[in-house]
């Protein structure tokens, strides 16, 4: 996530310049052939503009869907924040003991395992998928701190909240976050068996864990189900066809007019091609909100904020610092 008011025009252009240059070369070639051969291969602009409007619709639809995916992803992680607070508060205020035994260690362990669940989920969500833009630590030059943490691996982060034995017990499981929540349910069952929690409150805690299952599953759904590739592909190929027609249509206009200079076809084609590919690219780079890229939903930072909030609730020491904004990016 970018946190400044705007990407600068230069930054935007640098990021998307390829179609501009290819557009210049392509329309340059077309214009040159036209000038040299005087073949009548130009096309009228009016039908091309209908295609252009249809393509703009389609790109608009794609951008809209990408935005919805990003926004839904953010909503889910907002819900993780809320449900984490609910879970922590419930653990802190609903256990009871008649003889005044100190339950502090039990409470802390439950909250620590909850933080481990968030970290494990965040980690699972950023494992690359075949339809995503792949970015590894070496590419992430603008966010060196984030790349460092990525290099350290999951186990190092988890070891702060889970014992080595427990961590080892999950080694062969395919879905670590799911098994962690199952473990939480078993721990709560143990509390119930020791009569530290009433029948009704047992169910209420189970319901909160149900909310966490929902949040996890919804995140996995966005991760595992891309914007259907048939839509993404057609948007791309329609855009290519439209852009291929642009210089043919512009040439026709320029040759019909006495006032206009035919070589203007080249920069003008480049510009239009750039704008349409820019629209395409923005959607393309926003459709996978967990791909570990600069436009991601900042789940590392959200995770950290939950860690701070919950550890302050239990008056923990050595609270970690908020995640830093690096070069305007928050991961």
Residues in region 98-117 near a copy of itself by CB under 8 A: none
193 is an interface residue for a copy of itself by CB under 8 A: yes
93 is an interface residue for a copy of itself by CB under 8 A: yes
Options 24-32, 116-124, 154-162, 201-209: segment touching a copy of itself (CB under 8 A):
201-209
What gap in Å lies between CA 56 and CA 123, rounded to an integer?
36
167 is an interface residue for a copy of itself by CB under 8 A: no
For residue 319, the Cα-to-chain-centroid distance in whole angstroms is 27
| Sequential DSSP letters for 55-121 | HHHHHHHHHHHHHHHHHHHHHHHHHHHHHHHHHHHHHHHH---TT----HHHHHHHHHHHHHHHHHH
| In the block, residue with structure tokens 């939950």 | 306
The only residue of 31, 286, 300, 303 in contact with a copy of itself, by rule CB under 8 A: 286
Minimum distance of a copy of itself from residue 190's CB (angstroms): 9
What is the three-class DSSP state of 64? helix
36 is an interface residue for a copy of itself by CB under 8 A: no
Contact by Cβ (8 Å): 28, 269: no
Residues in region 9-28 near a copy of itself by CB under 8 A: 9, 12
51 is an interface residue for a copy of itself by CB under 8 A: yes
The only residue of 22, 24, 56, 135 in contact with a copy of itself, by rule CB under 8 A: 56
Minimum distance of a copy of itself from residue 164's CB (angstroms): 21
149 is an interface residue for a copy of itself by CB under 8 A: no
153 is an interface residue for a copy of itself by CB under 8 A: no
What gap in Å lies between CA 238 and CA 243, rounded to an integer?
9
194 is an interface residue for a copy of itself by CB under 8 A: no
278 is an interface residue for a copy of itself by CB under 8 A: yes
Contact by Cβ (8 Å): 235, 283: yes
């Amino acid at each position: 996530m970018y946190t400044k008011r705007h990407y600068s025009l230069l930054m935007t252009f640098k990021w998307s310049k390829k179609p501009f240059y290819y557009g210049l070369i392509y329309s340059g070639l077309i214009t040159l052939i036209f000038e040299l051969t005087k073949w009548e291969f130009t096309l009228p602009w009016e039908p091309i503009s209908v295609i252009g409007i249809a393509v703009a619709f389609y790109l608009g639809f794609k951008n809209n869907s990408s935005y919805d995916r990003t926004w839904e992803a953010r909503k889910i992680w907002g819900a993780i924040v809320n449900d984490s607070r609910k879970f922590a508060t419930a653990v802190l205020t609903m256990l009871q003991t008649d003889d005044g035994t100190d339950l502090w260690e039990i409470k802390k362990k439950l909250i620590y395992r909850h933080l481990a669940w968030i970290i494990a989920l965040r980690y699972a969500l950023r494992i690359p998928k075949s339809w995503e833009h792949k970015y590894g630590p070496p590419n992430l030059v603008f966010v060196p701190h984030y790349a460092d943490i990525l290099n350290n691996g999951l186990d190092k982060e988890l070891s702060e909240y889970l014992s080595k034995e427990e961590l080892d017990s999950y080694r062969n499981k395919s879905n670590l976050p799911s098994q962690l929540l199952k473990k939480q349910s078993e721990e709560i069952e143990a509390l119930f068996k020791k009569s530290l929690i009433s029948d009704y409150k047992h169910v209420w805690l189970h319901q909160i864990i149900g909310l966490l299952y929902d949040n996890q599953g919804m995140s996995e759904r966005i991760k595992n189900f891309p914007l259907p590739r048939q839509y993404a592909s057609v948007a791309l190929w329609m855009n290519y066809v439209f852009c291929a027609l642009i210089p043919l249509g512009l040439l026709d206009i320029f040759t019909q007019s006495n006032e206009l200079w035919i070589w203007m076809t080249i920069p003008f084609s480049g510009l239009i091609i750039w704008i349409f590919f820019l629209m395409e690219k923005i959607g393309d780079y926003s459709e996978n909100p967990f791909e570990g890229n600069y436009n991601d939903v900042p789940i590392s930072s959200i995770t950290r904020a939950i860690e701070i909030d919950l550890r302050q609730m239990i008056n923990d020491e050595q609270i970690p610092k908020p995640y830093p904004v690096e070069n305007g990016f928050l991961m």
